[in-house]
Structure formats: structure tokens, C-alpha cells
Amino acid sequence: MRKCDVLVVGAGIAGCSVAYELAAAGATVVVAERGAVCSGSSALNAGGIRQQFSQETSVRAGMQMVRRLLQFQEEFGVDPAFRQAGYLFLHDGGESARVLERAVRVQNACGVPTRLVGPAEVAHLVPGINVSDVAGGAHNPTDGYVDPNSMVSGFAAGARARGATILQDSPVIAIESSGTKVTGVTTTLERIVPDVLVNAAGAWAADVAAVYGGSLPITARRNDIFAVDRSPAPHDFIPLTIDLVTGGLYFHSEGEGLVAGIAESFAVADPPDGVAVGWEMLPALVDRLVHRLPDLAAAGVAHGWAGFIEATPDDNPVVGWTHLDNVYTIAGFSGHGMSLAPGLAPLAAREIRGGSPEHLEIYRLQRFEDGGVEPEGVWGGSGIAAGTGTGSPPITRE
């Protein structure tokens, strides 16, 4: 039997960044991971890092992440491959334009240099782009994209260096409770008695909650990404572009090609450890990509992969105490965990250690019961695009 101050379930970007912050503050931390570090959804996304959000707390979390990335290698000894090529949202002048305009005002008030741009500047930012149906966009040059594996590995190494223990191949199989507290957690390797249990299990967070009798409004959704063998700017890094005009196409530079995907995603009950790519999604991607970047008509697709998005009804994460007095959840990032989780981790770690719950109110689980939920609209989710034929709002996996 092992005792610890905090047991974190999940070694993705949320779990490793929270474990790092807790260990750096002097807590005794154990991380239980069902597979290997960064073996779940964190490894299977496009690595987008942005500050372009609708709510101030999320904007500031993104700002914190960008600041940290600029000194990440010095802090963690790992190069995160941060390409500060910017983020560009495209709109057609309709509701998506109004959502972006409101968000840009929030971002500017926080000090983020996002600007509304016209078709001519869009064409300058992305060589060869078709802007015939584009009314404009929102561009922030200080956003970008990273290598997700390097980022998670850096936080995991930092947590270990500060005394945290990461148990790999150690899924949780039982959670004991007495009264209003968890009293013990059993993994396939050992029994652990934590003062606090942190649920950072991502797409599997609802399954972890169910073990102790709780429920979370987090749905696992399959999303597919493809590697395209050429780029409109093969020797440069173009902005991570989210095309709201075509319904959520997104792409960014990867080597001399692109990483690209579309917004459609599919709910998966009881998500397995892994999922095969849905090649049936490729024709829709090709249609949208060639419409937006006509010079790619002869491009090939090198390979593809799929992962799970941990989606909530408002596309914002659940962060805070949940169900029992010593259970804390940080999950449900809805496709933008790379941008938000490390920026929110210091606030979550402070609260877990008994500090004030600073700036986390918009992420509380209680919001879904109280009503008045404000969706995160600036990313191609339910606040901007609708109607994908899947029966659910589209989710863009950045």
C-alpha cells in the first residue's frame, strides 16, 4: 500500500502539468496511467496553441501557455518544437464574424494582439488560398503549434525531477469511499491511499467518475487527422488555419506538407484504448481542402490517425471539486487541452492544496445544473458552426 498527498489519474497534458505544479509546490504526488505517458488523446492531436478564446480566463490561460513555451526547453530540458506561426480563423461575414469580433475585443483587453483581417491579408498569410467566399478572419501572430509528445514528456520529466512517481500500465480498477471521501484507490499494480484524487483522465474521465458513483458530462468523440504530402508554402510555417466558411476545415504546416482535418466527430460510448482512422472522412476533407487551397489538387495523403476528443456541452473543461470532498476533476477540454491545461494547472494545483479558487468559476461542474452556460464559440464548435449530419455540433480537434 502506498500513501500520497495527491493521486492523479491520467498522464496526458492535463495530468502531467498538474502533477508538475503540485510536485513543485512540495506535494507527494503519484500519477496512475492506464498505458504509457502521453499514450491517449494528448498524443493524437494537431498540437494547436492559441490565445484566441471567448472568455477572459481561457484567454489568460492561453497567454500563460505561450509565455511558458518560449522558455520551455530551458525549464524542462525538452524542445517542444513550438512554431509561433500564428492562428487564423476564416469567416464568411455571418454569425461567425460577429462571434470572432466579440472575442477579439476580449483578447485585446487582455493584451493579446489579435486583429480582424480582410481577404487580401488572408491571401498574404496563406499563399495560394482561395478567398472568393471569405469575408475576412481573425489573426494572432503569437499563437502557433507544438509537438504534443514533447510537451507532455517535458511536464512528465519535470514532475519526476521534483519527486512525483508515474505508474505506467496501471489502470484504476477500484475506488473506495467512506462518507464523503475517497479512502483508497486500487490499480492493477497496487493500492494507493491519497489525501486527494485528481481525475485527469480525459476522454475516460467519465468512466473514472463512474467507479466512485459520480457522473460527468464528458463525451468521447472520435476525430480523424490526415497528413498531406505537400503545402502551399513547403519551406515556411503557415498559420494554423481554421476555416469556418467550409464548416471547420483546419490545417497547418508539417515538414514540407500539412496536417489537416475537418470538424465532424462521432460520439463513442465506452471508448477503447485506441481507435482506427476513419478513411471514410477523407473525401470530405479533400473537397474542402482543395476548395480552399486549389494548388493541392494533386496532393497525396501520406497517412492518417484518429483519437478521442473529451467534449462537454459548452466546449469548456470541468475544473474543480466534484461529487466527493477530496475528488478534483480537470478534464473535458473539448479539443483545446494543449492550449488550456498547462495554463490552468497552476490555478488548479493551488486550489487542490487548499488555496483560493482563483479565476476558475466558469469551469465548475455546477454550471450545467445552474444554467446560463456560455459556450466557447471561437473555434468551430457549437458556438459557430452547426449541422454536420452527425446529430451533434461539430468539434474541431486542434
Mind listing the pLDDT tens digit for each residue in 297-326?
999 998 999 999 999 999 999 999 999 999
Determine the Cα–Cα distance for residues 47 and 44; give it in Å rounded to an integer: 9
| Per-residue pLDDT at 357 | 78
φ/ψ region of 52 (left if φ > 0, alpha if ψ in -120 to 50, else beta) reads: beta
Determine the Cα–Cα distance for residues 311 and 332; give it in Å rounded to an integer: 5
pLDDT in tens, the chain (398 residues): 899 999 999 999 999 999 999 999 999 999 999 999 999 899 898 899 999 999 999 999 999 999 999 999 999 999 999 999 999 999 999 999 999 999 999 999 999 999 999 999 999 999 999 999 999 999 999 999 999 999 999 999 999 999 999 999 999 999 999 999 999 999 999 999 999 999 999 999 999 999 999 999 999 999 999 999 999 999 999 999 999 999 889 999 999 999 999 988 889 988 998 889 999 999 999 999 999 999 999 999 989 999 999 999 999 999 999 999 999 999 999 999 999 999 999 999 999 999 987 789 999 999 999 886 778 877 644 333 222 222 223 333 34
Cell numbers for 381, please give them. 464548435
Determine the Cα–Cα distance for residues 41 and 241; give it in Å rounded to an integer: 21
| Per-residue pLDDT at 379 | 62
Determine the Cα–Cα distance for residues 224 and 45; give it in Å rounded to an integer: 9
Q: What is the DSSP letter of 238?
A: -
| Per-residue pLDDT at 383 | 31
CB atoms within 10 A of CB 70: 13
Indicate the SS3 state at residue 201. coil
Record the pTM.
0.93
Q: Cell 483587453 appears where? A: 109
Are the C-beta atoms of residues 204 and 273 closer than 8 Å to each other?
no
Closest by CA position to 258, among listed 299, 305, 306, 308: 299
| Per-residue pLDDT at 264 | 83
* Sequence letter at residue 280: E
Determine the Cα–Cα distance for residues 238 and 231; give it in Å rounded to an integer: 9
| Beta-ladder partners of 6 | 29, 196
| Per-residue pLDDT at 182 | 98
Residues 6+ apart with CB under 8 A from 24: 158, 162
